[in-house]
Structure 1
Amino acid sequence: MEHNEYQNTMDVSIKNEAIAKQQATFISKVYMWMSLALAITGLTAYLCANTPALLSMMFNPVTGKATFLFYALIIGELALVFSLSGAINRMTAGLATAVFLFYSFINGMTLSMIFLVYNMGSIATTFFITAGTFAIMSAYGYYTKTDLTKFGRILSMALIGIILAIIVNIFLKNSMLDLIISVVGVLVFVGLIAYDTQKVKEIGSQIGESGQEEYTKGAIMGALALYLDFINLFLFLLRFFGGRK
C-alpha cells in the first residue's frame, strides 16, 4: 500500500516536472517571436522617422497632418491582426509567422510618428521603463498560483471602455479625460501582461502534444498578445514620460 502511494507520488512529480519543462520551452519561443517583432517595429520606426521622403508620404510636410497613406497603413494593421486572430487555424505556420512579422513592420511605420513628437531620450527612457514593468508583470503571471481568468474578463471590458473613451475624446478634446484614459490604460495593460502570460503558460502545458505546425502557430498567437500588451503599455507610458519636442 505504501509502495503504491510512493509510486503514485513519484509519477505525479515526474509528470508535473515534464509539464513545467514543456511550459518553459513554449514560453521561451513566445518571448523569442515577441522580441523579434519588437526589434522589427523599433528599427522600422526609427528608419522611417529618419527618411524624409517616406515621412512626407505619411504626413503632410506643411500642415503635419496624416495623409491617406498613414490611414491606409492603420487600416492594414487592423486587417492583419483580425485575419491572424480569426483565421490562424486555416493558415500554415509559415504564413502565420509571415503575417505576424509583416504586421510588426507596418506597425513600425505608423509608430514613426512618435519620433516626430517626442525627443529621443524620453523615448529610450520610456522603453526601458516599459521593459522593466513587462518583465515584472510577466514573471508574476508565470509564477503566481492565483487564477487570473476573472481579472482577464474585467480588464477586457475596461479595454473596450478605453477604446470608446478615446474615440469620444477625439471630438471633446478634454485634457482631464485624456489623463484619466492614460492612467486607466497603463493599469489595464499592466494587468493584461500578467493575464496573457498566464494564459500562454496554460497553452504551453497543452500544446506539446500537438504537431510542429500547431506548436508554432500557438507560439505566434502568444507572441502577438504579449507584443500588443508591450506596445500599448509603452504608448500610454509615453504620455507621462515622453518629453515633447
Structure 2
Amino acid sequence: MQNQFDPRSTTNSSGGVNTATVGVPRAARDAGLRSYMLSVYNYMASGVLLTGIVALLFAPYAQGVLLNQAGTGMSPLGWLITLSPLGFILAMNFGLHRMQTRTLQMLFWAFAAVMGLSMSTIFIAYTGTSIAQTFFAVAAGFAGLSLYGYTTKRDLSGMGTFLIMGVVGLLVAMLINLFLQSAAMMMAISAIGVLLFAGLTAYDTQKIKSMYAYVAGSDMMGKVVIMGALNLYLDFVNMFMFLLQFMGNRR
C-alpha cells in the first residue's frame, strides 16, 4: 500500500510558499524544519512500535481468530481485520482537509493497532529470529534511505512517479498470483517490492521535507506531520513484509 498526499493546493490563496516563512532567518527555518521532521519520525516510529506490540500480544490468538478452522485461509473476521487498514488510509486521505488534527491522530493510532492485528500471523508463519533479523535489516536500510532523501539535492519527483506506477503493477501481479500460487512469482514480487519501497522511502522523505515551506505556521502543519508519518510507516512496513517473504525462515 502506498499513501499519497499533497496539501500544497490549499495552504494559501496564491498556491505559493506559505508567507509565514518569508523573512524568517535561515537558522530559525532550519530549526523549524528539524523540529517538523523529528515530529514526523517520532509519529512513524511510535506507530511501528505500537504495531509490533499489538502483533506480538495478539499472536497467540491469531490462528484461532484470523484463520479458518482448517488453517488454510482467512476467516471472515480475518478478512475484515486484514482489509480494515485500507479503510483507515482512505478515511485519512479523503478527510484530511475536513478533520481536526486530533481526529487524524486518533485514526493514525487506530490504524497502527489494526495493522498489528493483521500482521500477527507472521509469528505463526516465520521464526522469531528471522523476524527480528529482517526488522533490524529494514530499520538500518530505512534510516540510510531516508537520510539520503533528506540530504540529496537531486529532485526525486520523476523517480517517484515511476515507483508509484511500479507499486500499482506490483499489486496487479499479487492479485494474479493469488490464483496462480506460483512460488517463483512470489519470490520475484517480494524482491521487486523491497526495491520499490526502498526507493519510495527516499522519495517520500524528500517530499515530506519539501512540504515544510508550504505548511510552516499554518493549521495544516500538524496534519501534514501525521500524513507524512503514515507515508513513511507504509514504506517501512511494506519493505519489511516483502523482505520477510523473500528471506524469512518459515516454521
How far 1:179 sits from its partner (Å)? 2.0
Contact 2:41 2:229 in 1 (8 A): yes
2:218 equivalent among 210, 221, 226: 210
Task: Tell me the residue number matched to 2:120.
Answer: 112
Task: Tell me the residue number matched to 1:161.
Answer: 169
SS at match of 2:92: helix
TM-score by length of 1: 0.89
How far 1:64 sits from its partner (Å)? 4.3
Question: 2:40 corresponds to which letter in structure 1?
Answer: V
Structure 1 stretches of 5 or more lacking a match?
1-11
How far 1:76 sits from its partner (Å)? 1.8
Q: Does 14-23 or 175-184 show the bigger shift?
A: 14-23
Task: Tell me the residue number matched to 2:43.
Answer: 33
Contact 1:22 1:205 in 2 (8 A): no
**CA deviations over 1:88-120 (Å, ceiling 9, x no partner):** 111011110000110000010000010000000
CA distance in 2, matches of 1:217, 1:63: 41
Q: How many residues align?
A: 230
* Structure ranking higher in helix proportion: 1
Contact 1:20 1:205 in 2 (8 A): no
Which entry has the higher C-alpha Rg, 1 or 2?
1
Task: Tell me the residue number matched to 1:95.
Answer: 103
Task: Tell me the residue number matched to 2:242.
Answer: 236
CA distance in 2, matches of 1:187, 1:71: 27
Contact 1:48 1:55 in 2 (8 A): no
Question: 1:241 corresponds to which letter in structure 2?
Answer: M
In the alignment, is residue 131 of structure 1 matched against residue 139 of structure 2?
yes
How far 1:81 sits from its partner (Å)? 0.6
Task: Tell me the residue number matched to 1:8.
Answer: none
1:85 equivalent among 93, 103, 111: 93
How far 1:241 sits from its partner (Å)? 2.4
Question: 1:216 corresponds to which letter in structure 2?
Answer: G
Question: 1:43 corresponds to which letter in structure 2?
Answer: I
Q: How does 1:55-66 map to 2 (within 5 A)?
A: 55-66=63-74
Structure 2 stretches of 5 or more lacking a match?
1-21
Question: 1:219 corresponds to which letter in structure 2?
Answer: V
Contact 1:38 1:104 in 2 (8 A): yes
How far 1:49 sits from its partner (Å)? 0.4
Q: Percent of aligned positions with the same letter in both sequences?
A: 35
Question: 2:137 corresponds to which letter in structure 1?
Answer: I
Q: Does 167-176 or 55-64 show the bigger shift?
A: 55-64
How far 1:20 sits from its partner (Å)? 2.2
Question: 2:233 corresponds to which letter in structure 1?
Answer: Y
How far 1:13 sits from its partner (Å)? 11
TM-score by length of 2: 0.87
Task: Tell me the residue number matched to 2:232.
Answer: 226
